[in-house]
Amino acid sequence: MLIRRGGGIPSSEITPHSLYLRRREFLTGAAAFAFAGPLGSGPAAAAGMQAAKSPFSTTEKPTPLSDVKSYNNFYEFGPGKADPAANADALTTAPWRVSVEGLAARPGEFDLEDFMKPYALEERIYRMRCVEGWSMVVPWVGFPLAEVLKKAEPLGAAKFVAFESLSRPEEMPGQRGLFQLLDWPYVEGLRLDEAMHPLTILAVGLYGEALPNQNGAPLRLVVPWKYGFKSIKSIVRIRLVEKQPPTSWNKQAAGEYGFYSNVNPNVDHPRWSQATERRIGEGGLFAKRRPTLMFNGYAEEVASLYSGMNLQKLF
Ligand SMILES: Nc1nc2c(c(=O)[nH]1)N[C@H]1C(S)=C(S)[C@@H](COP(=O)(O)O)O[C@H]1N2
Ligand SMILES: [Mo]
């Protein structure tokens, strides 16, 4: 059962990834809410970026842009929800180099503009569910990761894809100092079939504009049926590999964060329930929680990837 704190706010409302950060997260989270405006706009009509609509988009109401940009997890810029918006302006996102390497017949290293050029941009309005128990709906702009991987021509031995974020302590205050919560760079991974799934995208924008730095500029992964921490930000390296790669939160607490991390209301986090979630932008801390959906509502599309797997064990 959840621990209740004074004031009757269940800890599920404030569950950060690491127990000893709870108090601080709560305070910064509450502060962020106080300033978050209640008004939102619909997804911009691709003002800055031409992006085709997609049948994969949800018709749910997108979370207001002000919330999407001000309530973030991006530990390179600090552990608080408001830290990325406060600190990520310092990040230089141009020029930006990305490499696609490892077990591929056509690996390459690219400037971001060249990397993106072959792909038509799409708007993908996806639910995003953080492992901490909150969710958003974000109108991403991006392209399928599958197209990038196909172009690289994975070799038969490639079974997983490993991703790496930028390591640049000069511009990332969360990477400086004596105490570091995570090992840097932030790393993530997917099974090759998950990476090739049509729902899996690389995003370069949201709300029709280039990604705000705090949301993972200039290039981030979005895997909508998995907990948000799988959607690695500010990517510099994509590597095709044979073995399941190490992933940041799994290294930090293997009993709490699995490699798969599929959204699953039936498998609780050891310290809180995953049955429900709080939708950011809907009435703050005391808004009614909504039920969390299996695979974050994408079961029809992705359940077959996991047939025969014990999702309690391979969480
Ligand atoms: N490099 C990096 N990527 C990251 C994180 C991070 O701390 N560093 N946080 C993850 C977590 S926990 C979540 S919930 C999402 C948040 O994305 P958003 O801030 O765009 O909503 O980014 C994920 N990607
Ligand atoms: Mo998260």
Query: Is residue 313 marked as binding?
Result: no
Express the helix, strand and coil content of the chain in percent, nearest 5 each.
Answer: 30, 25, 50
- CA distance readout (Å), 84 to 32, 60, 81, 212, 216: 11, 26, 7, 10, 10
Q: Stretch 269-291: mean pLDDT, rounded?
A: 91
Residue 44 has pLDDT above 60, yes or no: no
SS3 track for 245-310: CCCHHHHHCCCCCCCCCECCCCCCECCECCCEEEECCCCHHHCCCEECCHHHHCHHHHHHHHCCCC
Which residues' Cβ are closer than 6 Å to ligand 1?
A: 72-76, 128, 130, 165, 186, 215-216, 228-229, 231-234
Nearest CA owner, ligand 1 atom 20: 215
User: For a substitution probing ligand 1, which of 204, 233, 278 has the most ligand atoms within 8 Å of its CB?
Assistant: 233
Q: Stretch 55-62: mean pLDDT, rounded?
A: 97
Query: What pLDDT is recorded for position 18?
Result: 52
Give distance in angstroms: CA of 228 to centre of ligand 2. 4
DSSP annotation of 191 reads E
User: For a substitution probing ligand 1, which of 74, 125, 165, 226 has the most ligand atoms within 8 Å of its CB?
Assistant: 74
pLDDT > 90 fraction of the chain, expressed in percent and rounded: 80
Residue with tokens 């978050």: 36
User: For a substitution probing ligand 1, which of 134, 168, 229 has the most ligand atoms within 8 Å of its CB?
Assistant: 229
pLDDT band at 231 (very low <50, low <70, confident <90, very high): very high
Residue with tokens 């990305």: 98
Residue 87 has pLDDT above 70, yes or no: yes
Nearest to 123 by CA among 195, 59, 77: 59
Q: Stretch 211-216: mean pLDDT, rounded?
A: 98
Measure the CA–CA gap between 29 and 283, rounded to whole angstroms: 14
Nearest atom of ligand 1 to the alpha carbon of 75: 7
Nearest CA owner, ligand 1 atom 10: 229
Measure the CA–CA gap between 192 and 209, rounded to whole angstroms: 29
More confident of the two residues 186 and 29: 186
Residue 92 has pLDDT above 80, yes or no: yes
Write the single-letter amino acid at 78. Answer: G
Lowest mean pLDDT among 51-60, 244-253, 279-288: 279-288
Query: What pLDDT is recorded for position 199?
Result: 98
- Locate 107 and state its tokens: 């690996």
Measure the CA–CA gap between 100 and 262, rounded to whole angstroms: 25
Asked if residue 190 lies in contact with residue 247, where contact means CB atoms within 8 angstroms, the answer is: no
Residue 183 has pLDDT above 90, yes or no: yes
Nearest atom of ligand 1 to the alpha carbon of 136: 21
Homologous superfamily (CATH) of 6-306 is Oxidoreductase, molybdopterin-binding domain (3.90.420.10)
Asked if residue 295 lies in contact with residue 263, where contact means CB atoms within 8 angstroms, the answer is: yes
Measure the CA–CA gap between 86 and 83, rounded to whole angstroms: 5
pLDDT digits (tens, 9 = 90+) for 101-132: 999 999 999 999 999 999 999 999 999 999 99
Q: Which residues are within 8 A (CB) of 185 and not within 5 positions of it... i.e. 6 or more apart?
A: 164, 165, 166, 167, 236
Residue with tokens 């907990």: 227
pLDDT digits (tens, 9 = 90+) for 26-40: 333 333 333 222 223
Query: Is residue 226 marked as binding?
Result: no
Nearest to 126 by CA among 51, 46, 55: 55
pLDDT band at 178 (very low <50, low <70, confident <90, very high): confident
Residue 6 has pLDDT above 80, yes or no: no
* Neighbouring C-beta atoms of residue 302, cutoff 10 Å: 22
pLDDT band at 156 (very low <50, low <70, confident <90, very high): very high
Q: Which strand (E) or helix (H) includes residue 39?
A: none
* Neighbouring C-beta atoms of residue 19, cutoff 10 Å: 12
- Each domain of the chain, given as residue ranges in start order, spans 6-306
Nearest CA owner, ligand 1 atom 23: 229
Give the bridge partners for 239, in sequence order: 101, 162
